[in-house]
Amino acid sequence: MTGFPVRTFPLRACFAFRRAFLFLTAVCLLSTKAFAAPAPIVLTGSDRRPATSLNGEWASIVDPYFSGLFSFHHEEKKNGWFMNYKAKPGDPFPTEYDFAKAPKLKVPGDWNTQRPSLMYYEGPIWYEKDFTYVPKPHTHVFLHVGAANYHSWFWVNGQKVCEHEGGFTAFNCEVTQAIHSDNNFVVAAVDNTRHEDGVPGLETDWWNYGGLTREVSLIEVPESFIDQYDIHLSRSEDGIIEGWVHVVGAQPGEKAEVEIPGLHAKTTADIGADGRAALHFNVPGLERWTPESPKLYKVLIRAGDDSIDELMGFRTIETRGTEILLNGKPIFLRGIAIHAEAPYRTGRAWSDKDAETLLGWAKELGCDYVRLAHYPHDETMLRAADRMGLFVWSENPVYWALEFDNPKVLAKAEQQLDEEINASRNHAAIILWSMANETPNTPARTQFIETLATRARGLDPTRLITAALLVRAQGNTKIVDDPLGKALDVIGINEYIGWYEGHPDSADTTEWQIAYQKPLIVSEFGAGAKAGLHGGENERWTEEYQANVYRHQLPMLNKIPQLRGMSPWCLMDFRSPNRPLVGIQDEFNRKGLISDQGQKKLAFYVLQKAYRNKTIGKAD
């Protein structure tokens, strides 16, 4: 097993061909298989493996013109800053950088909140770290990167090990050939420049935090190793766990084994030529995962010399008409939307503590569900949600307007979707894969997202596909008929009655017309309020105004017959450059029920009462 765990190579090859032979373009783009690189290594459950942490202080050089990588004629340098060259007396050339003298940045961490001069920085920054390592024979070593926003390049001891695009998903760079005994160094260039053909694109309503925002480590695995697995409760056969284990480097006929000691259940399966062992085994006495009782089992996965000790819950999720069924029973999702903004300190959230604070507040609010907007969140959030009994809506960063007619953009969205699903498909908490948020209703958009939905179903047929749609209006009637709804199992809609349109009491006279007989989740509604600002209930930005919006929204939503859940916008205030209003927003979106410093606003208690007393929502 060799090669870079990224899809960029085959696409690049395609684009090189395009220059020479235009007619080949379509062939190239439609059949990347012909030029396919080895499948990316996923290392599902990587946080359950022993690892050598590379967290901590890294040397950093801000490089707005990217002169560490590109020459004055914009050619990629052979001796760029990734060589970490130490100037010697008498060198016949100057060395204009020195990581040893460079200031430090903490990893994990966005750079913006670590240095005032970087708060607004968008561009490349170089990172360097020295480390010692003693590789063992007959192993593969991967550099595991939890997330690097947005585009990143990695070198170990001067050798390029990978390049990755996408700011919110983990990836693995094989470093087996580049790493050696004792002293090593790793250099990364991370560039958070926004691009028209990026995913997300140019406009977002959140801060474009750059850097190595999640944990970085080295993971050593045997020659043949468990790369991915999907272990879930069957929807169709009662008391059966099914799925597969994918082992890289195994010979057909070798075995993979899955054991759940707490249930005295164990199965052994043959690995096929595709590296997969199919699972299908009985689990008598299994206690199903529910928000009230989020039972997690220790699951031991073994193949050859490799093993992973997982912690998993088991449940089924499906729809029937306009209902959502958990373990066969209708549910209503009492939720809240959450950005990965770190409570109290601001910046990109990543730690267990961040997850426990945010999800702890969601529990206090009376939630059993969280919409993790607008991109895949850190694994720590998913583990905490499994533990705490919170359903999760997990989202691909297809946000607002993208170049929906650009096949390159589709490939990027597909890559991020694959990374999201392959890494996190074993979390009982995740019940919804969201394909997109508030995208413009055009044929190109619909085709783009339908393609993603089909792909998501292929990767994971056990969960529900959704997206947050926009709503149109005719007089007092809100109409939900976006054609994208056809491709979804659950319709998500965002509406801001009482904030972007009308007054809080406009909700009282609003009627709803929904073209789809499917479950509906109101994935956003809300209003801005500055914590501590008080006044009349029709005075914008006051806590009273926000609470008033919630008071009028809840009875209106209760009248929608197929309403099966909601996740108002949002749990906590978060940084957004679109929100400059001095003295009120100060570059924070203030629609949180809690301020970024943990102060609860009045609307928190309005929603808490409705959730705790179950005066909102039907089905249980």
Chain residues binding ligand GCB by CB under 6 A are: 205, 374, 437-438, 494, 524, 569, 589, 591
DSSP tally for the chain: helices H, then strands E: 8, 33
Q: Kindly tell me which of 316 and 439 has the beta carbon lying closer to ligand GCB.
A: 439
Cis status of the peptide bond prior to 108, with omega within 30 of 0: yes
Specify the DSSP element, H or E, that contains 395: strand 391-395
Those residues with Cβ within 8 angstroms of residue 445's Cβ, 6 or more apart along the chain or in another chain? 404, 439, 484
Q: Kindly tell me which of 68 and 568 has the beta carbon lying closer to ligand GCB.
A: 568
Q: Kindly tell me which of 425 and 601 has the beta carbon lying closer to ligand GCB.
A: 601
CA–CA gap between residue 219 and residue 226 (Å, rounded): 12
User: Which single residue brings its beta carbon nearest to ligand GCB?
Assistant: 205
Range 477-503 burial, b when 16+ CB lie within 10 A, else e:
ebebebebbebbbbbbbbbbbbbeebe
Q: Kindly tell me which of 157 and 434 has the beta carbon lying closer to ligand GCB.
A: 434
CB 168 within 8 A of CB 147: yes
Q: How far is the CB of 273 from ligand GCB (least distance, A)?
A: 45
Q: How far is the CB of 524 from ligand GCB (least distance, A)?
A: 5
Q: Kindly tell me which of 373 and 390 has the beta carbon lying closer to ligand GCB.
A: 373
Per DSSP, which regions of 55-176 are E strands? 56-62, 104-107, 124-133, 139-145, 151-156, 159-165, 171-174
A 10 A CB-CB count for 152 gives 27
Q: How far is the CB of 525 from ligand GCB (least distance, A)?
A: 9
Q: How far is the CB of 468 from ligand GCB (least distance, A)?
A: 6
Q: Kindly tell me which of 229 and 569 has the beta carbon lying closer to ligand GCB.
A: 569
Q: How far is the CB of 235 from ligand GCB (least distance, A)?
A: 31
Cα distance between the two ends of the chain:
50
Q: Kindly tell me which of 424 and 437 has the beta carbon lying closer to ligand GCB.
A: 437
Q: How far is the CB of 522 from ligand GCB (least distance, A)?
A: 12
Q: How far is the CB of 374 from ligand GCB (least distance, A)?
A: 6
Per DSSP, which regions of 283-384 are E strands? 297-303, 306-312, 317-320, 323-326, 329-330, 333-338, 369-372
Closest CA to 162 of 339, 37, 347: 37
A 10 A CB-CB count for 83 gives 18
Q: How far is the CB of 490 from ligand GCB (least distance, A)?
A: 17
CA–CA gap between residue 149 and residue 349 (Å, rounded): 13
Question: DSSP assignment of 169-232, as one string?
Answer: S-EEEE-TTT--SEEEEEEEEEE----TTSSS-S--SS----B--S-EEEEEEESSEEEEEEEE
Q: Kindly tell me which of 189 and 452 has the beta carbon lying closer to ligand GCB.
A: 452
- Which pair of tokens denotes residue 547? 């609470």
C-alpha radius of gyration, the chain, whole number: 25
Q: How far is the CB of 467 from ligand GCB (least distance, A)?
A: 11
Q: Kindly tell me which of 259 and 573 has the beta carbon lying closer to ligand GCB.
A: 573
Q: Kindly tell me which of 434 and 548 has the beta carbon lying closer to ligand GCB.
A: 434
- Which pair of tokens denotes residue 356? 């426990």
CB 452 within 8 A of CB 417: yes
Q: Kindly tell me which of 72 and 500 has the beta carbon lying closer to ligand GCB.
A: 500
Q: Kindly tell me which of 157 and 494 has the beta carbon lying closer to ligand GCB.
A: 494
Q: How far is the CB of 204 from ligand GCB (least distance, A)?
A: 7
CA–CA gap between residue 315 and residue 293 (Å, rounded): 11
Q: How far is the CB of 589 from ligand GCB (least distance, A)?
A: 5
Those residues with Cβ within 8 angstroms of residue 77's Cβ, 6 or more apart along the chain or in another chain? 68, 69, 70, 71
Q: How far is the CB of 576 from ligand GCB (least distance, A)?
A: 7
CA–CA gap between residue 127 and residue 64 (Å, rounded): 14
